[in-house]
């Protein structure tokens, strides 16, 4: 344990992370996750449409495709709803007087 702490003590000193840096990093991560989630939801919606077209008259396949479409739409609404809420809270926190 002592050797590990000595090795860490000899390493180069870094720049401390400040709150604006942390906020910027979290905004970048949230933006990436929203884009990735939107793309994934669009893929699910398209695949469910393809399944619906290929289902023919099989009622179980039609129901599965309809359930997949419902899940894709609900997922995209949740993703973009959370994005709107986060953006609203961020705007309100940055300038509470200018918000209203």
SS3 state at 68:
helix
Please state, in angstroms and rounded to a whole number, the distance separating the CA atoms of residues 50 and 70.
Answer: 14
Give the tokens for residue 66: 């309809």
Q: Where are the domains of the chain?
A: 36-100
The string of pLDDT tens digits covering residues 1-56 is 555 555 555 656 777 778 788 878 888 888 898 999 999 999 999 999 999 999 98
Q: Which pLDDT score is estimated for 92? A: 83
Residues 63-100 have pLDDT tens digits of: 999 999 999 999 999 999 988 888 888 888 777 787 66
Q: How many CB atoms lie within 10 A of CB 48?
A: 20
What is residue 4's predicted lDDT score, i.e. its pLDDT?
53
Query: Which stretch of DSSP H or E encloses residue 84?
Result: helix 59-94
Instruction: With residue 47 as reference, give the H or E element that holds it.
Output: helix 19-54
Residue 22, pLDDT score: 81
- Give the Cα separation of 62 and 54 in Å (integer): 9
Q: What's the pLDDT score for residue 50?
A: 96
Read off the DSSP letter of residue 11.
S
């Amino acid at each position: 344990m002592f050797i590990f702490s000595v090795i860490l003590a000899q390493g180069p000193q870094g720049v401390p992370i400040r709150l604006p840096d942390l906020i910027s990093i979290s905004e970048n991560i949230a933006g990436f996750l929203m884009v990735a989630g939107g793309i994934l939801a669009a893929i699910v919606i398209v695949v469910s449409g393809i399944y619906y077209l290929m289902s023919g008259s099989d009622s179980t396949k039609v129901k599965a495709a309809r359930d997949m479409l419902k899940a894709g739409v609900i997922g995209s609404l949740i993703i973009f709803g959370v994005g709107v809420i986060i953006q609203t809270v961020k705007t309100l926190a940055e300038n509470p007087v200018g918000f209203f």
